[in-house]
Structure 1
Amino acid sequence: MSRVGRNPITVPEGVTVEINGSNVSVKGPKGKLENAFNENISIKQEAGQVIVERPNDTPQMRSLHGTTRALIANMITGVNQGFTKTLELIGVGYRVAAKGKGLTLALGYSHPIEILPIEGITFKLEGNTKINVEGIDRALVGQVAADIRAKRAPEPYKGKGVKYSDEVIRRKEGKKA
């Protein structure tokens, strides 16, 4: 059995889970998420817990078992607490400003970079060098944060660029003269 897949998911107070065959809908205080899963994986709700089971031990079913359970757990956590990724801008003149619901980044290019607002994502700024990307969909939060980081990924010689707050940049030594 999958170690992740066999663990039941506890549904907290204020969160409702509706299972319609392979479609799962989760509603909570922060919003609502829906997702369709493989119809071979059975999803049941019993006594305030969601249980995910697989029909057989083929490699495909084993991989889908743990993945399905993890995705449902992330949906429940997202509508209850939400997810956050924090980005830091490191470099002289690198800064961020709010523009409506979007962002304007100055990252050393000849032009400012505009980040358009995305449905389900909110940006919170701490000063002019920290960005908090918040939302209820874990995959969307991670993708938006990765897209912002890709605008100027941190380089290993001076450490300049956009990095995650918990990311460690391995520094390289420059050329010897």
Structure 2
Amino acid sequence: MSRIGKLPIEVIKGVKLDFTDSVLTVQGPKGKLSRQIMPCVSLNISDTSVTVTRNDENNATRAAHGLTRTLINNMVVGVTKGFQTDLEINGVGYRAEVKGKELVLSLGYSHPVNFSIPEGIVIEVDKMTKVSVKGYDKELVGQTAAKIRSFRSPEPYKGKGIKYADETILRKAGKTGKK
């Protein structure tokens, strides 16, 4: 039995679950999420919890058991608390600002990088070097943060670029002179 898959998912007050035609819809105070549930697992929905059980003992079904439970848990947590990813911008003259529905990044290129903010995502900039990506869909928050980071990934010599707040950049030694 999967250690993760067998754990029940607590349904917090104010969250509505609807499971019809193998599509689970979770609605809460922050938003509404839907996901197709694999036919190899089944859901037992009660007023206070959701449990995921598998229909057979196939390897694919065993793998889907824990994954499905985690995806549903992320949906419930997302519509109640939300998710946040923090980014830091390092480099002389590197900065970010939000203008309307766009994030404008100055990253040392000859032009500013304009990134249109996806629907359901809120981006906040603090002191022009700290960027917070917030939203209720964990997958979309992670994709948005990864896309922003990809505009100027941190380099190993001076550490310049956009990095996650909890990321550690392995630094390399520069060139050494002849002796």
Q: Distance in 1 between matches of 2:69 and 2:21?
A: 15
Alignment of 1:83-162 (within 5 A): 83-162=83-162
CA contact under 8 A between 1:101 and 1:123: conserved in structure 2?
no
Consecutive unaligned residues in structure 2, runs of 5 or more = none
Give % identity: 49
The 3-state SS of whatever aligns with 2:132 is strand
CA distance in 2, matches of 1:33, 1:61: 23
- Corresponding residue of 1:41: 41
Query: 1:44: how far off?
Result: 1.4
**Counterpart residue number, 2:58:** 58
One-letter identity of the residue aligned with 2:7: N
- Structure 1 portions without partners, runs of 5+: none
Greater Cα offset, 142-151 or 93-102: 93-102
RMSD: 0.9
- Please list every run of at least 4 consecutive aligned residues from structure 1 whose deviation after the TM superposition is greater than 3 angstroms: none
Deviations 1:61-86 (CA, angstroms, capped at 9, x unpaired) = 01110000000000000000000001
Task: State whether structure 2 residue 35 is matched by structure 1 residue 24.
Answer: no
Distance in 1 separating the partners of 2:108 and 2:152? 9
Distance 1:159 1:165, change over 3 A: same
Letter in 1 for 2:129: T
1:21–1:50 Cα change, 3 Å: farther
Cα contact 1:101–1:122 (8 A) shared by 2: no
SS in 2 for 1:68: helix
Q: Distance in 2 between matches of 1:114 and 1:134?
A: 18
Alpha-carbon shift at residue 107 of structure 1 (Å): 0.4
Deviation at 1:28, TM superposition (A): 0.6
User: CA–CA distance in 2 between the matches of 1:53 and 1:29?
Assistant: 28
- Number of residues of Structure 1 aligned to a counterpart in Structure 2: 177
Larger mean Cα displacement after TM superposition, 12-21 or 146-155:
12-21
